[in-house]
Structure 1
């Protein structure tokens, strides 16, 4: 199976830091105005999912959910979770206290990849 999601070493290291401080985490990428389509990191269960939102995978045990409408647009793309210095647009995500922002790098799946994608989970 081809994973829909992976993360850079820098993002994984930051996730481990946040897990030590906050416990179980989750990610949500909404695509709305305030968060500027950046992935947001929350304590697990502290963000309420909508019906039909899509979980595209796990990063270090953290569910990565995408807004149902955004997923329809990006369903043919691989997501790579990365982190950069600075506070993102929304500032609601747990990493902002460390002056960091999670971001996604996208690439389109090949025709071959599309035949072997890992399944998603719907809310």
Structure 2
């Protein structure tokens, strides 16, 4: 099965550290406001997920969401959660660790996109 969002080992390590410190977490891919287009890490009680959000999957056992409008723009890509040195987003839990979550992407191949479309069609029945 094609995953819409994956994480590098560096991202998985930072997720483990944050989970040890905070417990349950969630990600939301920012649409560009304030922290630019970054994957922000939150406590589940810090952000309300609603009908305008799409769950892409999970990374390190943590749910990963994106706004529906932004999803339409990025739906043909696999998001790859990574970590860079620097300060995380001001809203994101890793903000004071000296590391920041960083989203990379790659286009799905034609075969992967066909599989995704087939699975979406099955979910709509």
| TM-score normalised by L of structure 2 | 0.88
**C-alpha separation between the residues in 1 aligned to 2:30 and 2:7?**
18
Structure 2 unmatched runs, 5+: none
What RMSD in Å do the two structures reach over aligned CA positions?
A: 1.6
Aligned residues: 119
Q: What is residue 109 of structure 2 aligned with on the other side?
A: 110
More helix by share: 2
Residues 84-118 of structure 1, C-alpha deviations (whole Å, 9 max, x = no match): 01114x41100111011101111000110012236
How big is each residue's C-alpha offset from its partner over 1:29-61, in whole Å with a ceiling of 9 and x where there is no partner?
121320101000001232112323101000111
Unaligned 5+ runs, structure 1:
none
Compare CA radii of gyration and give the structure with the larger one: 2
What is the TM-score when the length of structure 1 is the normalising length? 0.90
Partner of 2:81: 81
**2:93 aligned residue:** 94
Please tell me whether the aligned partners of residues 26 and 45 of structure 1 are also in contact (alpha carbons under 8 angstroms): no
Q: Relative contact order (alpha carbons < 8 A, sep ≥ 6): 1 or 2 greater? A: 1
